[in-house]
Amino acid sequence: MTGVINIALSGLNRNAIGVHTVANNVANVNTNGFRAQRLSTSTDTTTPRYDAAEAPLETASDTRPPSDVDLATEFVDLKRYEIGYRANATVLTIADRLSGELLDLVG
């Protein structure tokens, strides 16, 4: 049962970080030179990686290109992270109920 709980907690964490990433992208939508961050889809690590190009330093005459943030993409990602978060929260709820039932049967 602890394996299921750990997996669900990892999913909650990843989706929360995804929401944070989307919030950062939306907050910087009008920042020249900003490149949208994306969570890596790699499953070989528990630490999320961000895929983003380094923005050049700001100069006195700001000639950096406009931000590459697409709000439609950000809101689709936000909805995806919300659904993932709810799914993992549901798994935790069910695991809690199953643990309670098991303890009731044993006790």
Per-residue pLDDT tens over the stretch 18-44: 999 999 999 999 999 999 999 886 655
Average pLDDT score over residue span 64-91:
95
| pTM of structure | 0.75
Q: Which of 3-12, 23-32, 56-65 has the lowest mean pLDDT?
A: 56-65
Q: Which residues pair with 51 in a beta bridge?
A: 38
pLDDT band per the 50, 70, 90 thresholds, residue 58: low
| Helix pair angle (2-27, 71-106), 10° resolution | 160
